[in-house]
Amino acid sequence: MEERKNNEKNLNWYLEQARQGAYAIGHFNFATADVLKGVVVASKESGAAAVMVGTSEGEVDFIGISGVVALVQALRKEYGFPIFLNADHFKSFEKCKEAIDAGYDSVLIDGSHLSYEENIAVTKKVIDYASSVNSDISVEGELGYLRGSSEVQSKVEISSVDYTKPEEARDFVSKTGVHRLAVVFGNIHGIVTDQEEKLDIEHFSKIVSAEPRPYYVLHGASGLKDEDISAAIRAGITNVHFNTELRVAYKEGIHKAMHDKPGETTPYKYLSPAVEEVKKVVAQKTKIFIAT
């Protein structure tokens, strides 16, 4: 962000430390200020080196883009902790530009819904724009078809034809110069209830061997076993995205508080227990990220 002092390190620096130390930086989404604060406090208390917080296009619409940036800046100052704000799965150059202009530290230009050539073109355009504004901005691209949505679903078709192809990863990174790459190797968005989610670590290792330059990002970590996440980090994942498990913890926390004290009308009294549930999830995940 513009106000960052020269002695503060940027996100790519923290990701490089993670790669060398074989650990990962967590990424958690938020749509409200209380959840954001819970994520930051729990990450700091759990011993994380830094945390990434993200907003989808929908989450930005809910809070307002200037509000999102101001909230993150305020918490960074208050807690003296490295917090990096990411535009999560922004689907167009225009949306990424809005985030960059507003002061985001990072964008994920998600062109995975486009043709391969169009994905390269839009990702390159975002990289060029971001670096012209501020060389500290970290840009992520996405390659492969990540199925599911950030919800609890019964079943999602998982097929290796959706996986990121190692030779395409190499070509994509060479042509775009992207810093981070979101890849698909068995991961899906959201939580599925009627099937086991399993990562194909062997496939991911082939991607890393073919293209070792970018910082690799694991999306859709909700619903995965802890040991699968650890194995992915050992194989080269430096950034892990969690969203759905936080949403479930928050919603169930509110539901329980409302049920326990139906007459309670003070928002911070019925929201606080929900934030505590979110903090528990963040702390538990952060311990996995840094223990590998």
**Active site residue ranges:** 88
Q: How many residues bind Zn ion (CB under 5 A)?
A: 2
Between 203 and 241, name the residue whose CB sits nearer to Zn ion.
241
Q: Which is nearer to Zn ion, 76 or 241 (CB)?
A: 241
CB 83 within 8 Å of CB 53:
yes
133's tokens = 């504004």
**Binding to Zn ion in span 179-208, by CB under 5 A:** none
Query: Directed axis angle between helix 166-176 and helix 201-210, to 10°?
Result: 40
Q: Kindly state the greatest CA–CA separation across the chain.
A: 59
Q: Which stretch binds Zn ion (CB under 5 A): 119-127, 130-138, 153-161, 215-223?
A: 215-223
Q: In the set 37, 44, 147, 219, which binds Zn ion (CB under 5 A)? A: 219
Query: How many CB atoms sit inside 10 A of residue 226's CB?
Result: 12
Q: What minimum distance in Å lies between the beta carbon of 184 and Zn ion? A: 11
Between 206 and 241, CB nearer to Zn ion: 241
Hey, which bits of 133-251 come out as E strands? Answer: 138-142, 148-153, 180-182, 189-192, 215-218, 237-242
Q: Which is closer to Zn ion, CB of 180 or CB of 241?
A: 241
Residue 54, burial from CB neighbour count under 10 angstroms (0-12, 13-18, 19+) = buried
Which two structure tokens, joined as six digits, stand for 163? 């996986």
Give the nearest distance from C-beta 90 to Zn ion in angstroms.
Answer: 11
Give the shortest CB-121-to-Zn ion separation in angstroms. Answer: 21
Tell whether residue 147 is a contact of Zn ion (CB under 5 A).
Answer: no
Q: Kindly state the smallest distance separating residue 269's Cβ from Zn ion, in Å.
A: 32
What's the closest the beta carbon of residue 220 comes to Zn ion, in angstroms? 6
Contact segment (CB under 5 A) with Zn ion among 17-25, 193-201, 235-243, 275-283 equals 235-243
Beta carbons within 8 Å of 61's beta carbon, 6+ residues apart: none
Q: Which is nearer to Zn ion, 215 or 270 (CB)?
A: 215
Backbone angles phi and psi of 245, in degrees to 5: -65, -35
Interface map 238-257 toward Zn ion (x if CB under 5 A)? ---x----------------
Over 98-162, what HEC string results? HHHHHCCCEEEECCCCCCHHHHHHHHHHHHHHHHHHCCCCEEEEECCCCCEEEEEECCCCCCHHH
Could you tell me the smallest distance in angstroms from the CB atom of residue 89 to Zn ion? 6
Residue facing Zn ion at closest CB distance:
219
Measured from the CB atom, the residue of 219 and 247 that comes closer to Zn ion is 219
**Would you state the structure tokens that stand for residue 73, as one six-digit string?**
């800046």
Segment interacting with Zn ion (CB under 5 A) among 112-120, 124-132, 233-241, 244-252:
233-241
Residues lying near Zn ion in the complex (CB under 5 A) are found at 219, 241
